[in-house]
Amino acid sequence: MSEPNFPSPEELQKKLSDFMKTQFGNHVSVSTQVSAAPEEAGGPGSAVGTGDEVFEFRHLPRDIKAHLDRYVIRQDDAKRVLAIAVCDHYNNVNYMRKLEREDEKKARETEYTKQNVILLGPTGVGKTYLVKHIAELVGVPFVKADATKFSETGYVGGDVEDLVRELVQGANGDVEMAQYGIIYIDEVDKIASSASTMGRDVSGRGVQTALLKLMEETEVPLRAPNDIQGQLQAAMEFQRTGGKPKRQTINTRHVLFLVSGAFEKIRGVIERRVRQGTIGFAAPPDGQQGGEMLEHVTTADFVEYGLEPEFIGRLPVRVVCRELSVEDLFEILQRSEGSIVRQYERAFRAYGIEVFFEEAGLKRIAELAAVEKTGARGLLTVCERLLRSFKYELPGSGANRFTVDVGLIEDPEKRLAELLEQGQRALAEELAAVAREFAQRLASRHNLKVELTQGAIAKLVERAVAENIHMRDLCAEVFKDYEFGLKLAEGTTEPLILTEEAVGNPDRYLSEWLVKRYRADRRTGEEQMASKSVDLCGDSPAR
C-alpha cells in the first residue's frame, strides 16, 4: 500500500495560513501545537479505553441521599428521585459495558430508555447545587451550561455539541470517561418556543431540537468543524500514525442529561388547567400554591408552556425543588457543609480576624434573606451587605475578633465604629510597646537610661499609623543619629528623657542634651578640681 500523499506539518500550516489570510486578511492567525493525543498520553497499560478500570459505579440510592444531606438542606423528594435516577443510569452503564465486552451484538440490541431528569423550582433553592454534588460523588465529568447561550445553528451562540466536547476536557481528554458524564442545562424554561407567549424566544425550538439528538444517542465529533487548530492536529496525527483509524467521535448514549428551570409562569398554566376542570394526571386540590402546585405539572402543561413534546418526552424524571423557609435558610447557615458562614470565617481569618456567628444572629440573617426571595442566594446578599464594610475596615485596624449578633445586624455601623476604636487602642498599645523596647535597647547599648514620655509615644504612634510604617523602622529613622551621638555620653547617670519635642526635632534635642551633659560634667569636673585644689591648699600649710 502506498503512503497517502500528505503534506508535512509545516507545509500544512503554511497552506492553512495562506488560506486564512486570503479569507480573513491579517485578523486571523493559525498556530499549531503538536501534543500527544489523549489516548496516547496515558501510555500503555493506562486505564483509558480498556474498559473496567476506568469507572465502576458502586453506590446505593440511600448513599447518594446521605451524601447530599451533608450539603443540601431539605429538598428530600428531589434528593430521592435524583438518587434513584442516577443509580439506575449508572447501573445500566455498568451492565452495558460488561455486555459490550462479552457480547457486542447483544449489547447493541439491548434497549434502554435513559432517565434524563428535569428539575423545577424557584431560584436559589439548590437545583444546581444538588447536581454538582451528585457528579462529584459519582466521580464522572460534569458540564453545566445555560440553555440561553445556545442558538439553533451554533453560529451566534454556542453549539450544543460543544457541551459534549467539554465533557472530554472535564475528563482530562479521556474520551471513554467523557461518555459517562453528566450534562446539566440550566434555564431550559427560557428556550420555550415563541408559539407560547410565556418564554423568551431565543430560537428556542431549534435549540430544543438540537438537544433532542444529544439526549438520545448521537456521535459527536471530537473536534468541532470550526476548530481549525483541532482539525489541523487531527490531520497531523493522521499523518504521524500512518492513517490508522482513531476514535474521532464521542457517543452520547450513556451521557446523563439533567435540565432545570424556574418555570415561574408554569404555575399559571397548571392553575388554569385545574380551574377549567381539565382533570390532569393528578389535578391538585384547590388552594395549593408555589412549589406544591408545581408537583402537579403534566406533560401537557410543559407543552402549553412552549416545550416541544419530543423534548419534554425525553425528560421522563421530574423533580420539584421547594421554596426554602426561614427555618430552612437558618439550617443552611448552621448545618450545611457548604455554608457561607464557613466562607466568611475563612475570609476574615486570612486577615487574622476571628468572626463568631451567634445563633440569634444567624436567625436574623435567615429572616432578612427570606425577604429577598432569591432562595439561599439571599443569605449571601444579606451577609455581603452587612459585612462588606467590616471586610474593608477591620483588616489592619488592630481589631482581631468580633461577633455577628443581633446587635450588629440591627446597627452594623455603630458596631463597626466601636470595633475600630477598640482596634485603634489595641494597635496603639502594641506600637507603644515597640517604641519603649527600642528606647530600652538604645539605653542598654550605651549604658544609659533612656525614657520616652507619654507625649513622645503618642507622637510616634500617630506617625507610624499615618505613614503606615513599622514602629521599629520609624524609631530607627527618627533616632538614627543617636547611635553615634550617645557614644559621647556613655555611662552618664542622668537619664535621657525623650519628649514630644525630641520626636519632632531629634538632632537638635540630642545635641542640646549632649551640650548640657558636657557642661554639667565640666562643672562637676571643675568643682572637683576646685575642691581638690582647696584640699591641696588646705593641706599645704600642714605640710
Ligand X SMILES: Nc1ncnc2c1ncn2[C@@H]1O[C@H](COP(=O)(O)OP(=O)(O)OP(=O)(O)O)[C@@H](O)[C@H]1O
- The residue ranges that bind Mg ion (CB under 5 A) are 127-128, 186
* Residue in 67, 79, 89, 127 binding ligand X, rule: CB under 6 A: 127
Nearest to 390, CA basis, from 380, 402, 378: 402
Which CB sits closer to ligand X, 262 or 362? 262
Q: CA 501, CA 495: separation in Å to the nearest integer? A: 16
Query: Whose Cβ is closer to ligand X: residue 262's or residue 435's?
Result: 262
Q: Are 292 and 122 in contact (CB under 8 A)?
A: no
Which partner in ligand X, Mg ion, none is near 32 (CB below 5 to 8 A by kind)? none
Compute the 3-state secondary structure of the chain and give helix, strand, coil in percent, each to the nearest 5. 60, 10, 35
User: Which one, 126 or 154, has the nearer CB to ligand X?
Assistant: 126
User: Nearer Cβ to ligand X, position 82 or 250?
Assistant: 82
Tell me how far apart the alpha carbons of residues 242 and 244 are, in angstroms, rounded to a whole number: 6
Q: Does 329 bind ligand X (CB under 6 A)?
A: no
Alpha-carbon distances of 352 from 341, 346, 389, 399, 427, rounded to whole Å: 16, 10, 16, 9, 14
Contact flag: residue 191 with ligand X (CB under 6 A): no
Q: Is 124 in the site for ligand X (CB under 6 A)?
A: yes
Packed helices 127-138 and 76-102: angle between N→C axes, nearest 10 degrees: 30
Contact 327, 84 (CB under 8 A): no
Question: Cα–Cα distance between 289 and 304 in angstroms, integer?
Answer: 20
**Which of 58, 55, 83, 86 has the alpha carbon at shortest distance from 68?**
83
Q: Does 375 bind ligand X (CB under 6 A)?
A: yes
φ, ψ at 346 (rounded to 5°)? -65, -45
Rounded-to-integer distance, Cα 409 and Cα 383, Å: 10
Contact 449, 439 (CB under 8 A): no
Contact between 73 and ligand X by CB under 6 A: the answer reads: yes
Quick one: how far is CA 123 from the chain centroid? Answer: 19
Report in angstroms how near the CB of residue 263 gets to Mg ion at its nearest: 13
Stretch that binds ligand X, among 6-14, 332-340, 429-437, 456-464 (CB under 6 A): 332-340
Q: Which of the choices Mg ion, ligand X, none does residue 124 contact, using the CB cut-off of 5 to 8 A by kind?
A: ligand X
332 interacts with ligand X by CB under 6 A:
yes
| The entry of ligand X, Mg ion, none that residue 204 binds, CB within 5 to 8 Å by partner kind | none
**Options 67-75, 166-174, 448-456, 515-523: segment touching ligand X (CB under 6 A):** 67-75
Question: Residue holding cell 551640650?
Answer: 515
Question: Which residue's CB is nearer to ligand X, number 177 or number 340?
Answer: 340
**Binding residue (CB under 6 A) for ligand X from 38, 79, 118, 126:** 126
Q: Taking CB under 6 A as the rule, does residue 338 contact ligand X?
A: yes
Binding partner of 338, given ligand X, Mg ion, none, CB within 5-8 angstroms per partner class = ligand X
Toward Mg ion, which CB reaches closer, 177 or 317? 317
Interacting stretch for ligand X, rule CB under 6 A, among 127-135, 233-241, 423-431, 483-491?
Answer: 127-135
* Minimum CB distance to Mg ion, residue 366 (Å): 21
Cell numbers of 477, please?
529613622
Assess 440 for contact with ligand X (CB under 6 A): no
Name the one range near ligand X by CB under 6 A: 278-286, 353-361, 371-379, 502-510: 371-379
Identity of the residue, 48 or 68, whose beta carbon is nearer to ligand X in the bound complex: 68
Question: Which residues, including other chains, have CB under 8 Å from residue 41's CB and lie 6 or more apart?
Answer: 173
Q: Note whether 323 binds ligand X by CB under 6 A.
A: no
d(CA 261, CA 130): 14
* Shorter beta-carbon distance to ligand X: residue 319 or 498: 319
Question: Measured at CB, which residue is nearest to ligand X?
Answer: 126
Question: Which residue has the CB atom at the shortest distance from Mg ion?
Answer: 128
For residues 404 and 356, the answer to whether their CB atoms sit within 8 Å is: yes
- Give the end-to-end CA distance of the chain in Å, rounded to a whole number: 137
Please name the residues in contact with 205: beta carbons below 8 A apart, sequence gap of 6 or more: 152, 191, 193, 194, 195, 308
**Which helix (H) or strand (E) is 144 found in, with range?**
strand 142-146
By the rule CB under 6 A, 129 interacts with ligand X: yes
CB-hemisphere CA count at 13 Å for 126?
28
Contact region for ligand X (CB under 6 A) — 119-127, 194-202, 235-243, 426-434? 119-127
DSSP state letters, 442-478: HHHHTT--EEE-HHHHHHHHHHHHHHT--HHHHHHHH
Interacting positions 262-301 with ligand X (CB under 6 A): 262
234 three-class SS = helix
Closest distance to ligand X from the beta carbon of 412 (Å): 23
Q: Please identify, among the stretches 93-101, 124-132, 398-406, 478-486, the one whose residues bind ligand X according to the rule CB under 6 A.
A: 124-132
Q: Is 378 in the site for ligand X (CB under 6 A)?
A: no
123 belongs to the binding site for ligand X (CB under 6 A): yes
CB nearer to ligand X: pick between 89 and 132: 132
| Region binding ligand X by CB under 6 A among candidate stretches 6-14, 19-27, 95-103, 369-377 | 369-377
Buried b (16+ CB within 10 A) or exposed e, 296-308: bbbbbbbbbbbbb
Q: How many residues bind ligand X (CB under 6 A)?
A: 19
Is residue 430 within 8 A of residue 398, CB to CB? The reply is: yes
Stretch that binds ligand X, among 5-13, 46-54, 117-125, 161-169 (CB under 6 A): 117-125
Q: Which one of Mg ion, ligand X, none is in contact with 298 (Cβ closer than 5 to 8 A by kind)? A: none
Look at strands 256-261 and 249-251 and give their pairing. unpaired
Binding residues (CB under 6 A) for ligand X: these are 72-75, 123-129, 186, 262, 332, 336, 338, 375-377
